[in-house]
Every structure is written in structure tokens, then in C-alpha cells.
Amino acid sequence: MKISAYINSKALCACLLLAGALFTSCSKDKDTGDPMNEAQLINKVTLSTGNEIKIAVGMTQQVSATIDPTDVQYPTLVWTSYNTDIATVDQSGNVTGVGAGQATIHIRQEGNAGDLTTLTVNVKPKATAIALNDRSLYEGTKAPAEAVLTPADAYDNLEWSVADNNIAEIKDDSIVAKQPGTTTITAKTTDGSNLTATAQLTVKKVVPVTGIDLETPGYDLNVGDEANIICHLIPSDATADLLTWTSSNEKVATVNNQGHLTAKGYGTATITATASNGTSKTTTITVGQGTINQDFTTGAGKWYINANHGTYTYDSNGLVVTMKKGNKWRGDWCLGSNSYGVQLNVGTYRYLAIKMTRPGKYIQNTNGQGTIALDTSKGRYEQKTGNGNNRYSILGYEGKESEAPMDQPEVIYFDLQQEFGTNPYYFSKTGLDATKLTTFKLLIADIPSTYAGTYTLYWVHTFKTLDELKAFANK
């Protein structure tokens, strides 16, 4: 009995070991914790939708998967959503939106723990309202088909239609204008809300451009300046909306499709306007150091009035300075300050001109009827003796400035190559002057109370020549 029991115990142990081995061998390929034999592995999964989809809450979308290689022993895929409050998925790849947000679907081979790929699911709210705006396009052009949805982040895959496909059609989510006329466009939600909206679409005739003439600002820009290029088309009723604008060097200047320039860096750039039929015209823009530019009909820029000297307001007609009244009026208009120094390049930009209505009366070198002077950290303009008052020139009245009227806009200007102060000081004529002027202002003072307590500013610019100044002022 003892021998028999011993043999049976040994046999039992052997059987248990064999069974364990067989179990391990048979279950190894299905155990997600152990890697499969290389011949059994799926190497790649390609999804029919790509790796990102957009659906609405309550919507289900079928996603198909193609495996590579196709002849593996275990081709079954396991689909798992780790954000089931946002999206769920079944083992056939049916993805359902549950709540607004983003979920990730993980796809792996059955029996293997590693992901073969993932699917990002963006779940959007259903629309509660939809609206369309009337549109107008030129024949031969296209524009995105867009609707206004509520909420703004609602599911925006819409069904579009056009009443008259001879006038326009919908293609690749764009409205394609075909020939002049008016028709109706309709958009319908596809998220299950069944909302629709309509709007009028007008297709306009294109009048071909046969010639282009470009009018530059008329002065060199400084970094940060903005200006417009005026475009004159031939014929005058040609379709300007289809012009495209380019800059040869966007590090110097950029331009938008209305010809609006923004100066970015010093140098030159060629600006080109091109019509839809290929007709084009170019012009050159220079962004130079040491220029001074401001259009006061758009604001004051870095210019300011001393707080003790008054206030200002501006609109599209100009900037109006209201001077402070004491025994006499005063209202200095300033650019330089301790935090902002003005540097001049008078060798290139010789003339400083200001369009304004002048308070007071022009009597050179005295202040009895008012003072206008260009004052700087290096002294006043042409202050050879006395106070240097009223030593500016008035365009069109050179040599007879006292005859210029004070009740209408005039252009006053200064030749910056002349001396400043009684020392005297001359600014460099060979490049950017090393001096940063902490004082640079149009000093306006001692205006008798019999004159109006305001003056209006229109623009201030520096120019290379008097001819350039005159051409700009006479536009």
C-alpha cells in the first residue's frame, strides 16, 4: 500500500505539471500579457475615416479598419473607449457621441496588449438654431459655404443646396459662382436636429482690368508706420475686389488685399497688384530710418500735448487741440520725451512739414501776436539770435508768410539742415544723427485771447525734397 500510494502520488504530480504546461502553451497566444509570435502579429491598421472624426451628440458613425498583413492567425481587433461619457464604441467600429468633448478610441489586436492605432473623436453639441447671411460673389470665384450656428461650437457638417445651379453650385464645402444672377442657397443640419436656413446669393459680373496705376503714399515710411497705396484701374469700373497684392520683402513691408501697407523693417520692397486676368503693376516702397510720419485724422500716435497746455480730440476731419488759457493761449504739440527719443536723418529727410490751421499771427522772431517754433533738445530752429519764433515757411507763401490766412488749413515746413539753437547745432547730413532728442515739439504759445483757443492738425511728415513735399501736399 505504501508503494502504491507513492507511485500514484508521483503520477499525479507529473500529470499536474503536464497539464499546467499544456494550459500555458494553449493560452499563451490569447494572453494579453504575453507577446505573440511575430508571424501572428498585425503590423498596421488603417481606418476608413483617418485618425480623427467629428460627430454630434447622439450620432453614430461606422469606422472600418483594414489590417496589414491580412492573413494573420488572429485578425480580430479590440475597440475600447477610455472616455465613455463622451463617446462609446462597439466591436464593429460603431462610434456613438454621448456628450460634448473629445474622446480617444484605442484599437489593438485581440491577444496583444499594445495599441495598433488610436482614433480621436470630437463630439459636438447639436445645433439649436441656424442662420445664413446673404452673400455676393463674382462670377468665376468661390467662397466657403458658412452658416451661423447656435451654439457656436455646434456640429457644423451641413447639407447645402442651390436653387439655380446655372448661377452657382456647392462643391467641396464651397460656393462656386458660375454666372451673374440671383438665387437662393439653403443649409440643413445633419445632426438630427433637422434645422434649415436660406439666404440670397448674388453673383456679380466681372469687368476685366486692362490697366493699373498705383499711387504710393508720397513719403518714406518708418518702422511701424501704416499707409495705403491708391489703385486706379482702367476702365474705372473694373472689378477691384479681385486684385491680389504681394510684397517682394515682407520683412520690410506687408500689404493686404486692399493695398494697406505696414512697415516692418528698414529697406525697400516691391509691391505688386495683380488682376484676375494677369494684368499687374508694381511700385517700390522705402522704409527709412529717421523719418517722422503721422496722419492725425486717424489718431495722435506717439504725439501728445503737455498736460498743462490743454487737451485734444480727433475725428476723420482732423485732430483739434484746445489750448489752455491764461493771460494768453498755449498748446505745445510734442513727440520727444525722456522715454522716447527722436532721431533725425536730415541728410535724407531734409524737410519736416505739418498741415494745420495756425493760431496767432506770423511776425518773425517776435511773440507779440503769438509764437510757433520748432523746439528741440538742441535748441530752437534757426535761433541765431533772440527767441527763434515764427521762423517757419508756409507752402505757397515763401517770403510773404505774414500774408497767409489763419482761418484755413496751410502747410508749414522747416528745412532741418539749418542750424538749431544759439550754439549752434547742425544735425548730421550723412546718416542717422547720434542724438536722441528728448525734446521735439511744435511750440505754440503766447497766442492772444483775441484769437481762437484751438488749432487743427491734419498730418506731419518728413520729405526728401521740396518737390516731394509739394507733390504730397497738392494731392
Classify 192 in phi/psi space as left (phi over 0), alpha (psi -120 to 50) or beta: left
Cα 303 to chain centroid, rounded: 25
CB 253 within 8 A of CB 247: yes
Nearest to 229 by CA among 264, 254, 249, 265: 254
What integer pLDDT is reported at residue 325 of this predicted model?
80
pLDDT digits (tens, 9 = 90+) for 314-352: 988 999 999 988 788 999 999 988 888 999 999 999 999
What integer pLDDT is reported at residue 1 of this predicted model?
33
Residues 6+ apart with CB under 8 A from 450: none
| pTM of the predicted structure, to 2 decimals | 0.69
pLDDT digits (tens, 9 = 90+) for 239-265: 999 999 999 999 999 999 999 999 999
CB count, 10 Å around CB of 459?
20
The Cα 303–Cα 464 span in angstroms is 22
Q: Is the peptide bond before 235 cis (omega within 30 degrees of 0)?
A: yes
Q: Residue count of the chain, please give it.
A: 475
Per-residue cell: 287: 522704409
* 294 bridge partner residues: 460
Nearest to 139 by CA among 64, 189, 208: 208
- Burial 22-48, CB ≥16 within 10 A → b, else e: eeeeeeebeeeeeebeeeebbeebebe
pLDDT digits (tens, 9 = 90+) for 15-72: 333 344 333 334 434 444 455 566 689 999 999 999 999 999 999 999 999 999 999 9
What integer pLDDT is reported at residue 39 of this predicted model?
63
107, 108, 110, 112 alpha-carbon torsion, rounded to 10°: -160
DSSP state letters, 397-449? -TT-GGGS-SSS-EEEEEETTS-BTTTTB---SSSS-S--BS-EEEEEE-EET
Residue 134 DSSP class:
-
Q: One digit per residue, pLDDT tens: the chain, 475 residues? A: 333 333 343 333 333 333 443 333 344 344 444 555 666 899 999 999 999 999 999 999 999 999 999 999 889 999 999 999 999 999 999 999 999 999 999 999 998 889 999 999 999 999 999 999 999 999 999 999 999 999 999 999 999 999 999 999 999 999 999 999 999 999 999 999 999 999 999 999 999 999 999 999 999 999 999 999 999 999 999 999 999 999 999 999 999 999 999 999 999 999 999 999 999 999 999 999 999 999 999 999 999 998 788 999 998 899 999 998 878 899 999 998 888 899 999 999 999 999 999 998 898 888 888 999 999 999 999 987 777 789 999 999 999 999 999 888 999 999 999 999 988 999 999 999 999 999 999 999 999 988 888 999 999 999 999 999 999 999 8
CB 433 within 8 A of CB 345: yes
Q: What's the maximum distance between 2 C-alpha atoms anywhere in the chain? A: 145
CB 113 within 8 A of CB 32: yes
Per-residue cell: 159: 447639407
CB count, 10 Å around CB of 404?
16
* Cα Rg of the chain, angstroms: 39
